[in-house]
Amino acid sequence: MVDTLDSKSSGFTAVPVRFRLSVPHTSGYLSPCCEIRNINKKGAVSGTVPFFISSWGIMANKQQFQNITVLGAGRWGTAMAIYLSRKGLAVTLQCYLSEEYEQLKKTDIAPNLPGFSCDGKITFELDLNKSIADAEIIIVAVPVAFMRSVLKRIETLASNVVIISINKGIERESLKTVPEVISEFFPKNPIAHLGGPCFPEGLLSESTPAAETLACKDDELGLALQEMFSSPSFRVYRSFDVKGVALLGALKNIYAIIAGIADGLGMYEEVTSVLVTRGLAEMKRFCQHMEISLETLYGLSGLGDLALTCYSPKSSHNKNFGKRLGKGETVADILSTMGGTVAEGYYTTKAVWEISQQSQLDLPLCNGIYQVIYENQSLKDILITLMTRPLKVED
């Protein structure tokens, strides 16, 4: 045990503070490694407060986070806000559109997530900077295409505020992942990414076991966030591969569109199995080029998310986008009638195609869907091209 007197480093200025270093306990997701002892003028201990040390600061106790702001009142953002509010956290849901805000204030039900009430537990806010004024954690659920414009509007943000992205995509202009874009604006803030095979309805269903991966480079922070998100119906695993988890969540949407096209064309089930397998092979090549761990690829955020999105009968926006293409609708018509939702795979396809062209990566499925949705090529012609390529050894 080591005792020191230090009133400045602790942040307590009214009374001297004594730190007692002790052996960490093994129970719980974080163990107290120190305690603060308040010493009165006569030298007596007036009380102790356990605290924890990590590379991102001192945490007062096990229940570290209370004030959460979710940016984006779409399906996923609203679902996450409801989920965390059910866990007793103080949640603010920031709305981008005034009509979303007005409906939520009036009915407590999100326009894009009918059937699920916010139960009077969530604060709704239209003003971005007001919504994050007291936030300890900001959860970014804004579609990637609009994310940069939202981040630009944040006036000030303390460097200890944790930023967690739950949106999936690659920025078209910069070809960066979501955490990379966020770090441009807030390089000093802790950043994490949550991704994996879960739709909003599954997250909110207490009878449906679901799981995702929380990626964070700081181990202690990752442990704390893992505990915060986890529940008996939602199991969260940890990873240090922030870029990989974010990137794979974007990639799988490309293959979900192709699976949807197959459904729209009335093809039999075998094609989905082929697409998942060969899509995974393309994702592997892309990961190797981007120096992403294969462990991440074969985890929940890679193979898990790919399988769910491709096999989903109705919940995937990306698969539904492809299904409408397969039934003969034009890209322009589909994009204009998605009712406020976004098929991120449409934008990700272009970003990945550009990377593959620059780096000469062999991604035939990605290239084929790019030609369909951006160059107006015939689905039938692309299918024939894909199936009649030179035969090869399976990789």
CATH at 381: 1.10.1040.10
Residues of the chain falling short of pLDDT 50: 1-63
Same domain membership, residue 74 and residue 123: yes
What's the Rg (C-alpha) of the chain?
A: 24
**Closest to 248 measured CA to CA, from 178, 335, 147:** 178
Same domain membership, residue 295 and residue 217: no
Indicate the residue among 221, 240, 259 that finishes a domain. 240
Indicate the residue among 240, 264, 293 that finishes a domain. 240
Counted domains in the chain: 3
pLDDT for position 314: 86
Same domain membership, residue 97 and residue 120: yes
pLDDT in tens, 201-257: 999 999 999 999 999 999 999 999 999 999 999 999 999 999 999 999 999 999 999
Residue at 143 is within a domain: yes
pLDDT for position 40: 45
**Which of 252, 314, 319, 392 is the catalytic position?**
252
Same domain membership, residue 269 and residue 217: no
Same domain membership, residue 108 and residue 74: yes
Same domain membership, residue 346 and residue 301: yes
Same domain membership, residue 269 and residue 193: no
Q: Does the annotation mark 106 as catalytic?
A: no
The answer to whether 203 touches 228, Cβ cutoff 8 Å, is no
Indicate the residue among 188, 215, 240 that finishes a domain. 240
pLDDT in tens, 110-129: 888 988 999 999 999 999 99
The answer to whether 254 touches 349, Cβ cutoff 8 Å, is yes
* Angle, CA of 10, 15 and 19, to the nearest 5°: 45
Same domain membership, residue 255 and residue 372: yes
pLDDT for position 26: 32
Residue 138 to residues 89, 92, 186, 319, 347, Cα–Cα distance (Å): 13, 10, 12, 29, 24
Give the CATH number of the domain where residue 227 resides.
3.40.50.720
27: domain range? 3-59
Distance CA 186, CA 143 (A): 18
Residue at 245 is within a domain: no
pLDDT for position 224: 97
Residue with tokens 């695993």: 237
Q: What is the pTM assigned to this prediction?
A: 0.84
Same domain membership, residue 262 and residue 228: no
